[in-house]
Structure 1
């Protein structure tokens, strides 16, 4: 086993007090339950190989994947996650970095890894792999699905190299507030709360139009908020053997949605 340097992010045994924080507990759990070996095997065929002799070897796929997951879990940009690896020993330890010995991937390396996943459609395959393993272990029951959507903001400024907004993003209004960005539509297993499907669109795409894309085909019940009113009447949902439980609008919606969630459990 490699000897850790004095900079290694771990307990030394001389601390007067330690506390197992929620973040530490979460990362320890993710370290145990994420199928790292299977996901690394999925990505490695597409990862850069070692260059000429004397050149710096590429970073290990698992380290970059762990950094990518940290970004998703804690909402960190490329520069922010690079700084966090220097500033937060707990995160560096989760990734497997010894700051006294190892080189920390810079933001450009982190960006290139994300583009690698996008280029080869690996993010969807990662989700498929995780869902398959969860189903095999009996953790995803698939009898009910909750559908929902969330807005993800994008920079609206045109002060950039192209002088334009991102053409894939769009403006939309929610309540009295305007937003610019994209929308993530998600399908969630009603019993476990685990996400099984994600669809990304521009922010102005109505939630109800994407409901059919969030079903895996084995559920018997689907639960949704009031934004999905009329979903059962849409052409793309005709013939689906599912019962739609959609919250009512206005004051009656809270009770209806509570009953729907009770049924989901």
Structure 2
């Protein structure tokens, strides 16, 4: 179907309106959005049929939904009402904006075409090119996210010795050691062991790799070395005499240092669940869960990059 042309409307009387720059304007300047548009080009590309909303505008709308924890209904209302939202998505002051169902259909297209991973990688690649990813080290961990309903056949139950069992999916994440930029994401049912997924999320040139005890294995040590990294995994035990308190103290000190660095990734999960609407999945199925997590990771990474840039000297 043909695409609508947006952002062409002139402001009243053709006057230039001076506006204060906000966080959305800063994020809009972070990357080249034309690369995102090229990834989305196959969607709604037919020359005939009812005019469709530009996919890039809809993608930006989904990012807004993450940053402001909005449902489709609230997103459509806010986009119609808020000037900063309109400007970020490319809509002029008084032209119509997408209705709720437009975002539903757009998400369906993203899932069907498997574009969520490509979009995330396109954003992170640009940030990497800008020097936002400092490859001195990598933090790896996973978090369980409750399913939208216990009827979701692709989610699984997982227990924890200190918490009630949860039915859901698991997000496996690797982030930059220093900046907290998310580098890779993988989604599995919640009952998949964390340690089995290290190879799936280990980025190229990982540097020093920190993770918790679930990842401590010979296979993972080898995977880290094969990727050119240096293992900073905790140790499960040490060969020593029963009364060798020095060896045991060294083991505890090593594991404490590893844990002290590794736990920084918990801030990412906390932000996702506290502020970005990832307290539970919104849709059924592993593919849609992957879309939600990768949209959240993309939105978080863009906002984190903006914060890092603000802290750089002029």
TM-score interval (norm. to shorter): 0.7 to 0.9
Give the Cα separation in 2 of the matches to 1:153 and 1:78: 20
- 2:159 pairs with 1:173: yes
Give the Cα separation in 1 of the matches to 2:130 and 2:229: 25
Residue matched to 1:35:
32
Residue matched to 2:173:
186
Q: Relative to structure 1, is the Cα distance of residues 124 and 181 closer, same or farther in structure 2, using a 3 angstrom cutoff?
A: same
- 2:59 pairs with 1:59: no
Residue matched to 1:2:
9
Unaligned runs of 5+ in 2: 1-7, 237-251, 265-314
Residue matched to 2:90:
96
Shift of residue 65 of structure 1? 1.4
Contact kept? 2:43, 2:55, Cα under 8 Å: no
Contact kept? 1:153, 1:180, Cα under 8 Å: yes
Residue matched to 1:111:
104
Give the Cα separation in 2 of the matches to 1:191 and 1:239: 21
Q: Summarize the alignment of residues 201-216 of structure 1 with structure 2, pairs less than 5 Å apart.
A: 201-216=188-203
Give the Cα separation in 1 of the matches to 2:120 and 2:47: 28
Higher relative contact order (CA 8 A, sep 6+): 2
Contact kept? 2:155, 2:190, Cα under 8 Å: yes
Q: How many residues were matched structurally?
A: 237
Contact kept? 1:171, 1:181, Cα under 8 Å: yes
Residue matched to 2:260:
258
SS at structure 2 position matched to 1:66: helix
Contact kept? 2:184, 2:201, Cα under 8 Å: yes
Judging by fraction of residues, say which structure has more helix. 2
Shift of residue 213 of structure 1? 0.9
Residue matched to 2:242:
none
SS at structure 1 position matched to 2:41: helix
Q: Which is further off, 196-205 or 91-100? A: 91-100
After superposition, the C-alpha distances for 1:96-140 in whole angstroms (9 at most, x for unaligned) are: 3346322x2122211221122222222211222223222322222
Q: Summarize the alignment of residues 10-89 of structure 1 with structure 2, pairs less than 5 Å apart.
A: 24-25=22-23, 27-52=24-49, 55=50, 57-89=51-83
Unaligned runs of 5+ in 1: 158-164
Q: TM-score, normalised by structure 1?
A: 0.74
Give the Cα separation in 2 of the matches to 1:136 and 1:182: 32
Q: Relative to structure 1, is the Cα distance of residues 51 and 83 closer, same or farther in structure 2, using a 3 angstrom cutoff?
A: same
Q: TM-score, normalised by structure 2?
A: 0.64
